[in-house]
Amino acid sequence: MIEHIDLLIEHGTVISMDAERRVIEDGAVAVKADRIVAVGTTAELRARFTAAKTINAYRKAVLPGLIDSHAHAGHGMLRTMGAGDPNAWMAACAVIYTSASDEQFWRAESAMTSLERLKAGVTTGVSLFGGGDSIMRVDDPKYAKAHCDAVARSGTRSVVAVGPSRPSAPTRYVDWATEPPSSRDIDAATMLEVCNKIIDENHGRADGRLNIAVTLPVFAPMHEPDHGLLREEFHRQAGDYFRLAKERGLTFTQDGHRTGTLALAHSELGLLGPTSFMSHCIDLSEEDIAVTQDTHTRIVHNPSAIMSIRGRCPVPELIDAGVIVAIGSDGSAPDRGYDMFRHMFQCMHYHRRHFRDAGVLPHGKVLEMVTIDAARALSMDHEIGSLEVGKKADIILVDLFKPHLMPLNMPVYRITCFANAADVSTTIVNGRILMEDRQVLSVNEGEILEEVNVAAERMLDRSGLRHLTESPARLWGASHY
């Protein structure tokens, strides 16, 4: 009996990322509503199904949507600022997120980021709601709602991580909804209340495509002496927010672990576990690796980030210890965006250079780190990360018939070593086609870009930081900024 389905993708090279890591030549994927109902050869699936829509994937790779396991909401609007001066850029985050951003800023930046991701084949992305040195926009839930509204419209899948700004509270925030703008100091209790409201309003939205995670600043007294003076406040935050995550069934993440801080997060704060995914994690000690392994905590490596210049995440060592490691973009910033092909390539070469060994991190492993391993890191592998029957239909097509991707052999190698974001031809999330043949269907690309420009100009005027968009004095002709 022939079954009617909504979508049949046929004649592609299907890189399934299933348990057998099947690569199926002349392969096909069948989709009904938001789920995958079959994966096999084109002949097999054509014999079983008739489809409302058929996509010919001849000379294209068919993959599960890529997953970006660590990035920052807001950063996209700042990516052209402060090039060559990371400290000035971090300081700009603090000023803009607390004092120069409004609902349009967060909505426009989110729409832009979602658009960039879907055009790059990133169907799921983690976005911490703020950043820099842990400055989060948690004085009012309306800003997170504006961000989530834009994600919902785009059609992509997102994990938005919310939590307090770094100790010590209170933190001064400015609201531009009134004329003149109003400002107020936001204490720790209010931040927690706002985070609860953000969860209430947004977790599970858009047919489950939007999920909220909980985040906290990293407690690092061995690296930041002032943290020792704030030990009691860090402990109180850990108790409040990790309890919140557990009670609400949310995942937990932190941004910026380094030597000793994972062990401390476990022994003092109790923050490690199988639903925790920790970012950066540079220069880890043997104890850090051991507690990560023992608690089944997941690690997110950001190979293109500034922290990966200042130290190294021991990715091969973690993998050898049995730890699940995903790749994140840490986007955006003055030197990086959301192209996960770039970050896979960077990851391989970063660690090969460290070990002086071209055999480190096989290309199949880095593809796992942006698909099935990333899904495991986010506790979402039951739904996404591979092309398997019953999973969500998050699927991308990559055009392999291009000069830089020829000849037509070794498709996995070509995806990880030669492809880039512009090679993604089609992006599907929850069974809905968001982009086909490079034409975005879910949103109006031109309108988004125009609003981004308006919001960015307003932000620069309000912040007084327009000088950070000027070219550095030593841009040309010198070996260092």
DSSP assignment of 106-124 equals HHHHHHHHHHHHHHTTEEE
- Are 140 and 198 a contacting pair, CB within 8 Å? no
Q: Distance of CA 304 to CAs 64, 208, 343, 350, Å? A: 23, 30, 6, 9
Q: Answer yes or no: is pLDDT of 83 > 80.
A: no
Burial status of residue 436 (CB atoms within 10 A of its CB: 0-12, 13-18, 19 or more): middle
Percent of the chain surpassing pLDDT 70? 100
Confidence of residue 193 (pLDDT cuts 50, 70, 90): very high
Q: Answer yes or no: is pLDDT of 176 > 90.
A: yes
Q: Answer yes or no: is pLDDT of 229 > 80.
A: yes
- Are 427 and 119 a contacting pair, CB within 8 Å? yes
Q: Answer yes or no: is pLDDT of 61 > 80.
A: yes
Q: Answer yes or no: is pLDDT of 84 > 80.
A: no
Q: What is the mean pLDDT of the chain?
A: 96
Q: Answer yes or no: is pLDDT of 349 > 80.
A: yes
Amino acid 85: pLDDT: 84
Amino acid 345: pLDDT: 97
DSSP 3-state of 41: strand
Amino acid 347: pLDDT: 98
Q: Answer yes or no: is pLDDT of 289 > 90.
A: yes
Question: Average pLDDT in the 237-253 region?
Answer: 97
Question: Average pLDDT in the 352-381 region?
Answer: 98
Peptide bond into 221 cis (omega under 30): no
* pLDDT tens digits, one per residue of 402-433: 999 999 999 999 999 999 999 999 999 999 99
Give the pTM. 0.98
Confidence of residue 168 (pLDDT cuts 50, 70, 90): confident
